[in-house]
């Protein structure tokens, strides 16, 4: 855990130092949950979006059994008629239960509270061992903890606690390490209390229901004092604004919390104007906004972020095979761009996690250094006919207003939808994390091993010295490469420093023009990953970059 936290700190520091990601409005102290991409970061994001658009929209892989299908794009407005969000369920249901601390004025998500209990063996006489998780659930939904911690998991709570024990659990002394109990939920460590009694410290999640009943008795995670927490209350995650001059209830509108609804609202427009036929997909890349309660983990949970979403429309009886198809395509796409499969996993949601209209959903998850468990990069959901039926009902008064004709059976049906929905920023963070490499045997130990397709700068051209006719040879090479690929030219500083800068930017190839170039017309090509060098003819530099850079996966 400690190593991971250190890795994350190094990654965040490199992102700032090299201009990948900055805090938004940093000169004014920043603003929580908003981030700016600098020169290298915006090229990286652009490459991610281009790769997605190219591989999913312009040149998607053949469907199940080799079937061809069409993919088209849209680019919808961020603010839409608020009825869209009533139909989608976001006005009524897009909320998280929140708890406020009335004293410190801080707020947290009710499902992200962990408790610390002191358990003495004689209190429970073996019940604990016999009934395990069930007993603990019973016990901790009625007993008041000695402390609470805001954390997404008990293991995250343990690392927070380990760093701050003296203050958080004054009067208790831990006598051994925390270990995960058999129930897979609780971390336990042997401890003694202030009167010298032996027992265990248990770190266990607090349920929303327990908070509802005991909120005025549970100690605050911020002040440690009881009596200041409110009961959990629903908090809508959509950002509100007003359209027009009047700021009244009739002018309320929302910044879209997802790009998907713009696609559904345009389903009929696209069908009528672009000669697409079921099965087909509509794709969109764009900004989405969520007033997240607890933005954290760098860009992972932001309040403004970009999504890459596909709504794929198909016949109900083929929907299961399209669902499996898209789940596999999306997983392979991440692997093709250098995300190692041991950090990537598809996780099929259990029946209790699924939305009421959803038949199936797989989260594609990546193991970031800030978490013990893989975290969602993308959700691939089988949404049935929920969205088109809802918009049919809300916009036209009929569930089947957006039904289409099955040309074989001559029957009308509302298409079913498979939705692969990915976050650009989360993938960018995964790409940065995966690329970050530390090798102390190198002159520049930190370097970014980006997949060449995603690397923000593809090549650099260096005259070894800025004299002796070398710039005159280097400049035309640079101009030729930059017509096709992002390329940098640098004639200053020692060659080692220039390589180091390019390594940190993740530039795969550096061409160096030296004294030998004048004699035999060859230049050095240095490879970022193994720092090996070969010589090629100076006329072949552009061709070399072209050969090494696949345009698709
Ligand atoms: P989470 O459970 O992590 O909040 P979600 O299930 O609400 O995510 P979706 O509504 O399925 O997310 O959105 C699709 C994708 O959009 C996510 O897989 C993620 O990549 C991205 N995304 C969602 N919320 C955020 C956020 N606050 N910051 C950055 N990216 C986000």
The tens digit of pLDDT for each residue in 239-286 reads 999 999 989 989 999 999 999 999 999 999 999 999 899 999 999 999
Cα gap 243→97, rounded to integer Å: 28
Average pLDDT value for residue range 39-46: 97
Residue predicted with more confidence, 341 or 123: 341
Q: What would the mean pLDDT of 113-127 be, rounded to a whole number? A: 76
More confident residue, 550 or 512: 512
SS3 at position 210: helix
Peptide bond into 541 cis (omega under 30): no
Residue ID of nearest Cα to ligand 1 atom 22: 423
Q: Using pLDDT thresholds of 50, 70 and 90, give the confidence band for residue 2.
A: very low
The pLDDT-based confidence of 351 (bands split at 50, 70, 90) is confident
pLDDT digits (tens, 9 = 90+) for 198-218: 999 999 999 999 999 999 999
Dump pLDDT digits (tens) for 475-504: 999 999 999 999 999 999 999 999 999 999
pLDDT at 127: 56
Residue 330 has pLDDT above 60, yes or no: yes
Residue 308, ligand 1, Cβ within 6 A: no
> What's the pLDDT tens digit per position in 365-420?
999 999 888 999 999 999 999 999 999 999 999 999 999 999 889 999 999 999 99
Are the beta carbons of 221 and 148 closer than 8 angstroms?
Answer: yes
521 and 513 Cβ atoms separated by less than 8 Å: no
Q: List, for residues 281-300, the tens digit of each pLDDT value.
A: 999 999 999 999 888 899 99
- pLDDT over 70 at 1, yes or no: no
pLDDT at 552: 58
Q: How far apart are CA 74 and CA 299, in angstroms?
A: 26
**Protein residue with least CA distance to atom 11, ligand 1:** 379
Which residue has a Cα nearest atom 26 of ligand 1?
301
SS3 276: coil
- Tell whether the torsion through CA atoms of 238, 239, 245 and 246 is positive or negative: positive
In ligand 1, the atom with minimum distance to the C-alpha of 378 is 18
Q: Which helix (H) or strand (E) holds 173?
A: strand 173-174
Query: Percentage of the chain with pLDDT > 70?
Result: 96
The dihedrals phi and psi of 108, each to the nearest 5 degrees, come to -145, 160
- Distance, CA 237 to ligand 1 centroid (Å)? 12
Mean pLDDT of the region 13-36: 96
Q: What is the pLDDT of residue 551?
A: 62
- With CA atoms as reference, report the closest residue to 63 among 277, 325, 362: 325
421 lines ligand 1 (CB under 6 A): yes
């Amino acid at each position: 855990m400690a190593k991971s936290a250190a890795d994350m700190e190094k990654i965040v520091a490199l992102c700032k130092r090299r201009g990948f990601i900055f805090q938004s409005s940093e000169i004014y102290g920043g603003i929580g949950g908003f981030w700016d991409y600098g020169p290298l970061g915006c090229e990286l994001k652009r490459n991610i979006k281009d790769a997605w658009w190219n591989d999913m929209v312009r040149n998607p892989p053949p469907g199940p059994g080799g079937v061809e299908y069409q993919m088209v794009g849209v680019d919808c407005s961020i603010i839409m008629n608020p009825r869209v969000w009533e139909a989608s369920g976001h006005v009524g249901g897009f909320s998280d239960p929140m708890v406020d601390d009335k004293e410190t004025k801080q707020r947290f998500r009710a499902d992200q509270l962990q408790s610390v209990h002191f358990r003495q063996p004689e209190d429970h006489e073996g019940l604990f061992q016999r009934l395990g998780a069930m007993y603990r659930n019973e016990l901790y939904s009625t007993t008041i903890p000695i402390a609470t911690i805001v954390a997404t998991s008990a293991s995250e709570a343990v690392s927070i606690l380990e760093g701050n024990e003296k203050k958080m659990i004054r009067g208790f002394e831990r006598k051994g390490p925390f270990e995960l109990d058999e129930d897979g939920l609780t971390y336990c460590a042997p401890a003694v209390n202030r009167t010298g009694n032996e027992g265990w410290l248990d770190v266990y999640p607090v349920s929303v229901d327990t908070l509802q009943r005991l909120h005025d008795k549970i100690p605050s995670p911020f002040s440690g004092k009881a009596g200041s927490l409110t009961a959990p209350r629903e908090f809508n995650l959509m950002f509100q604004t007003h359209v027009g001059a009047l700021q009244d209830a009739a002018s309320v509108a929302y910044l879209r919390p997802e790009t998907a609804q713009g696609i559904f609202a345009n389903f009929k427009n696209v069908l009528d104007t672009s000669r697409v036929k079921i099965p087909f997909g509509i794709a969109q890349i764009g900004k989405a906004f969520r007033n997240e309660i607890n933005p954290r983990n760098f860009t992972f949970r932001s309040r403004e972020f970009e999504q890459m979403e596909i709504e794929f429309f198909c016949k109900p009886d083929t929907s299961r095979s399209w669902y499996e198809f898209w789940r596999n395509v999306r997983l392979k796409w991440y692997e093709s761009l250098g995300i190692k499969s041991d950090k990537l996993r598809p996780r099929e949601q259990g029946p209790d996690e699924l939305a009421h209209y959803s038949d199936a959903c797989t989260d594609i998850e990546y193991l970031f250094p800030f978490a013990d468990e893989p975290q969602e990069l993308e959700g691939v959901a089988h949404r049935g006919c929920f969205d088109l039926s809802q918009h049919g009902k809300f916009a036209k008064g009929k569930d089947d207003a957006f039904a289409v004709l099955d040309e074989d059976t001559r029957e009308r049906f509302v298409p079913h939808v498979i939705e692969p929905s990915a976050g650009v920023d989360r993938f960018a963070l995964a790409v940065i994390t995966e690329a970050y490499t530390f090798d102390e045997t190198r002159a520049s130990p930190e370097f970014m091993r980006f997949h060449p397709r995603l690397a923000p700068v593809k090549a650099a051209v260096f005259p070894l010295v800025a004299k002796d006719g070398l710039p005159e040879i280097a400049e035309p090479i640079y101009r030729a490469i930059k017509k096709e690929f992002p390329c940098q030219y640098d004639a200053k500083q020692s060659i080692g420093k220039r390589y180091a800068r390019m390594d940190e930017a993740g530039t795969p190839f550096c061409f160096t023009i030296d004294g030998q170039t004048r004699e035999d017309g060859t230049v050095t090509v240095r490879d970022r990953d193994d720092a090996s060098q070969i010589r090629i003819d100076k006329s072949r530099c552009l061709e070399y970059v072209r050969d090494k850079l696949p345009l698709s996966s």
